[in-house]
Structure 1
């Protein structure tokens, strides 16, 4: 009787998990992978009892999958994190270019540019240090300005001062030059006190989140910085085991500021720079015998959901023109921004439907890759974006946080192969969930919906690369193991926009890297 019960219990568990994608290719789960999976599960269990149960003066109740910004220092102490650092992650399919490079590195690039200036609307003081946001802009030489220090009572509000001088003259009571660095980088990032204290609602944290982009744009969208910024993004991604990227670039501003300080660099020049940089990176890797470490990068053309439908028509035509000139670079189209307060997809339905017809006329294929359901709502406009994204034929769904509330849509995504770009740490910091054990990702995995793990805005959140996101997912579920992570990485390539030949090459390269990684994990296990 007892044996029969256990048999039925096992059968029920297997039936319940049968849709999980790591089990679909069970024939591919070699003995080495199974052994490596056991090693990872053993380390996870040991560290749950040791590292996560230690006493930390600044972290009263640590646990695996806790709030990322608070637990990051503990995560980096773990053996599990060090192992996952070496894991081949596959593709990064959801990342906004303007938040992909460490804020300190961006500031270093900026300080090398004499044309860059900064201004504030009120003298920077101890009382407004955290809220008085800097505005940056490159000026033509004839407009170079030299106002009083930003921290000087005599500073004329709104006056430009050279970035270098602003840093050198920053009041020592506010930390001097180092205080300036802290002020600037703090304006482009979210810290624990903000995420979990002063801005601990979706509405409040989005206000802080949006302000980070407002500040950084003036530094990034400057021709002498842009190419170096892209290169740093690609190199740090490759270092973390990412072999292919589809980056969302916001084309809202129709021109970038050139080296002469004039706003005169059109969108096509942005793509030329992007293309040149990735070729340089590929050439660099080839010389090192690492050409298979990086398949390449493409662009998801994006603009923001506050424009009018009539304005959107211009961007859609621009996207088509860029696709015709750079067919290898444009991967898709998206509308971005806070779904809870900006316009829903249905607001743009006429130009979006026309866009599909225009593609046929122009002989191009630009799939929609929509943000949808990045919300706690149920039946709200943001939640309803899921229906429109699917009806419009979206290739993937960005975030899809509220998708689990819709059983028919879950089935549709599984049946049609619509992958969900899940951004675990982003969802937590932007207050959709309180921690990873509360995240709905397991619902997607257990329903067999394809998922690609993504970092979203790593420069703002501090989750550079993908290792942190993979870590948080792994420690938050007893079902999830190394094979699950492998399936997520493999699916990130499978559901990319790469053509058949490039996708085959990318999957083969990843497979070879995965096999080496499994051997490494087994050796780690043998040494325990």
Structure 2
């Protein structure tokens, strides 16, 4: 509060001095720069003596990256990844405790190498090849039934004995990710890249929904994020019906019980890990009747699994789906029935200004969302942006996803840069890192720190973003307090350890 009062006083004195004197004054200029620094993300964070030393060290690292012939945030991530991995800034960010990942999708959180090298080598795994040069997988005790527009199912173990194993596995990796050497040629527009993006999920579907793999996949996802120094994860999950080897289907209740069991088992192995919760999602292509049923199902799941179930959201491409306002009757059901169902809406993941979809950022607030996923369109709505600030509703910024899906090419031009300059509430997340060839959160933190934040972002910026991830999570007030305390201990150790090298 004291820092906000100081900011107000500085702004008021600066305005008075500018009105009274038309000639430029160096003191006025310094006051103006100080006022802007106070307003940006991290502007109110007071660094300790040790943190200031690390901040200077980090600043010098940043200058080196900015002086390189190719600045990673300015080029496509597929071309920048190897440059990022050689950066001292990136190495530091990997070691930095990052709090929570609050915007991650179920089938996009585990590196595809694990899926190919682990899951597809399990017994009873079959593959078929589609007419449009893609693949499908299924586990079955016997020969699976033929699938439309697909070749006959072949046992992978048998196929690997006949073909070059390395080439076959590499082809599976290509089908499970968007990565390509020439992304501009491969994905000339949003329609093409979104079609490929959604196809990758279909490829993974048969692998991940096999009940034993479903549990192992979640455990591996938590492990990969934890190894990237993430302490808590909120997963947007479709909760599709998993299946057994004899083709029997399990319920959504089974899936949530499985999630609970896996999280508990993971915490037993890694006691510092805080946990994970599920945001139940459905596709925004549903009609209103289907949406009503989905919201009712979400209310039931929230009632039956309050510890693991965080809330509800719509997923899928906004530009080709129904706008949030279309679903307003369904989304007011919890209030009508006296039930609390938190919302975490994707909104504003579009550059189609003036459309119904462009209004999703406004409607998300009117429907009382807890966070705004992506919020790419937020800066085009100044009134909505100010309302979000007053309501303390953060934007979940996922820069690599926005770049790969062709909303922005140079991340220095990402709208999140404006939000950071204004100190808008925000958190950093990675959306579907596995599909982009990334892991955890460090790559996205790098792009935010170097590209969106530019030379002005510093250790205070990073610290606020890390603390925001717990502050804006769905954890209880007590859990937030305890987690923040534990996180600050890890942060101080990170600072002292980094200064030794």
Check 1:112–1:20 CA distance in 2 against 1; reply closer, same or farther (3 A cut).
Answer: same
Q: Distance in 1 between matches of 2:245 and 2:299?
A: 28
Runs (5+) with no aligned partner, structure 1? 54-60, 123-130, 148-155, 171-175, 286-290
SS in 2 for 1:398: strand
Structure 2, unaligned runs of 5 or more: 1-20
RMSD (CA atoms): 2.0
Matching residue of 1:132: 133
What is the aligned partner in structure 1 of residue 33 from structure 2?
13
Q: Does 1:356 align with 2:335?
A: yes
Deviations 1:474-501 (A, max 9, x none): 2221111121111111101100110011
Aligned to 1:458: 433
Asked if the contact 1:39–1:521 (Cα under 8 Å) also holds between the matched residues in 2, the reply is no
Cα deviation code 1:133-157 (max 9, x no counterpart): 0011223x24358x9xxxxxxxx95
Residues 384 and 485 from structure 1, CA distance in 2 versus in 1: closer, same or farther, beyond 3 angstroms? Answer: same
**Corresponding residue SS for 2:455:** coil
Matched, 1:321 2:300: yes
Paired residue secondary structure (2:39): coil
- Equivalent residue for 2:369, pick from 389, 394, 407: 394
SS of the residue corresponding to residue 134 of structure 2 reads coil
Q: Contact 2:72–2:83 (CA<8 Å) still a contact in 1?
A: no
Name the counterpart of 2:386. 411
Q: Does 1:496 align with 2:473?
A: yes
1:43 alignment counterpart = 61
Contact residue 65 and residue 472 of structure 1 kept, 8 A: no
**For 1:89, what is the secondary structure of its paired residue?**
coil
The residue aligned with 1:303 is: 282
Partner SS for 1:256: coil
Query: 1:196 and 2:205 equivalent?
Result: no
Within the alignment, does 1:482 sit opposite 2:459 as a pair? yes
Residues 1:383 and 1:163: Cα distance change in structure 2 (over 3 Å) = same
State the 1:121 CA deviation: 3.4
Partner SS state of residue 44, structure 1:
helix
Residues 426 and 295 (structure 1 numbering): CA distance in 2 closer, same or farther, change over 3 Å? same
Q: What's 1:338 paired with?
A: 317
1:29-72 CA-to-partner distances (Å, cap 9, x unmatched) read 212222211110111112333xx23xxxxxxx555543211011
Question: How far did 1:461 drift?
Answer: 0.5
Question: Could you list the per-position Cα deviations for residues 140-191 of structure 1 after superposition, in whole angstroms to 9, with x for gaps in the alignment?
Answer: x24358x9xxxxxxxx953111122233333xxxxx1111111111011012
Secondary structure in 2 matching 1:465:
coil
What is the 5 A alignment of 1:257-272? 257-262=243-248, 264-272=249-257
2-structure distance, mates of 1:144, 1:135: 12
Deviations for 1:217-255, whole angstroms, at most 9, x for unmatched residues?
11101101011100000011111010111100013x4x2
Q: How far 1:383 moved relative to its partner? A: 1.1
Q: Secondary structure at the match of 2:75?
A: coil
**Cα distance in structure 2, aligned partners of 1:366 and 1:346:** 17
Task: Name whichever of 235-244 and 101-110 sits farther off.
Answer: 101-110
| 3-state SS of 2:123 partner | coil
Q: Secondary structure at the match of 1:158?
A: coil
Is this contact kept in 2: 1:194–1:200, CA < 8 A? no
Q: Shift of residue 260 of structure 1?
A: 2.4
Distance change in 2, residues 1:411/1:118 (3 Å): same
Map 1:467-478 → 2, pairs under 5 A: 467-476=442-451, 477-478=454-455
Q: Which residue does 1:164 correspond to in 2?
A: 157
TM-score, normalization: structure 2? Answer: 0.91
Question: Structure 1 residue aligned with 2:343, among 358, 363, 368?
Answer: 368
Question: Which residue does the alignment assign to 1:82?
Answer: 91
Q: 1:21 to 1:144 in 2, by over 3 A?
A: closer
Structure 1 contact 65–475 (Cα < 8 Å) conserved: no
- Tell whether the 8 Å contact from 1:195 to 1:205 is kept in structure 2 after alignment: no
Q: Give distance in 2, aligned partners of 1:162 and 1:194.
A: 33
Work out the number of aligned pairs and report it: 476
The answer as to whether partners of 1:224 and 1:259 remain within 8 angstroms in 2 is no
Matched, 1:34 2:52: yes
Deviation, 1:113, is 3.1
Matches within 5 A, 1:54-203: 61-122=70-131, 132-139=133-140, 141-144=141-144, 158-170=151-163, 176-193=164-181, 195-203=183-191
- Work out whether residues 425 and 463 of structure 1, in 8 Å CA contact, stay in contact via their aligned partners in 2: no
Matching residue of 2:497: 520
| 1:157–1:416 Cα change, 3 Å | closer
Cα pair distance change 1:377/1:516, threshold 3 Å: same
CA distance in structure 1 between the partners assigned to 2:156 and 2:295 by the alignment: 36
- CA distance in 1 between counterparts of 2:151 and 2:254 reads 31
Q: C-alpha displacement at 1:459, in angstroms? A: 0.7
For 1:258 and 1:97, the matched residues in 2 are separated by: 19
The answer for the alignment partner of 1:284 in structure 2 is 269
Q: Tell me, in whole angstroms, the C-alpha distance in 1 between the residues paired with 2:66 and 2:409.
A: 19
CA distance, structure 1, for counterparts of residue 190 and residue 34 of structure 2: 37
Secondary structure, in 3 states, of the residue corresponding to 1:23? Answer: coil
The 3 A distance-change label for structure 1 pair 62 and 448 is closer
Shift in CA distance, 315/48, structure 1 to aligned 2, threshold 3 Å: same
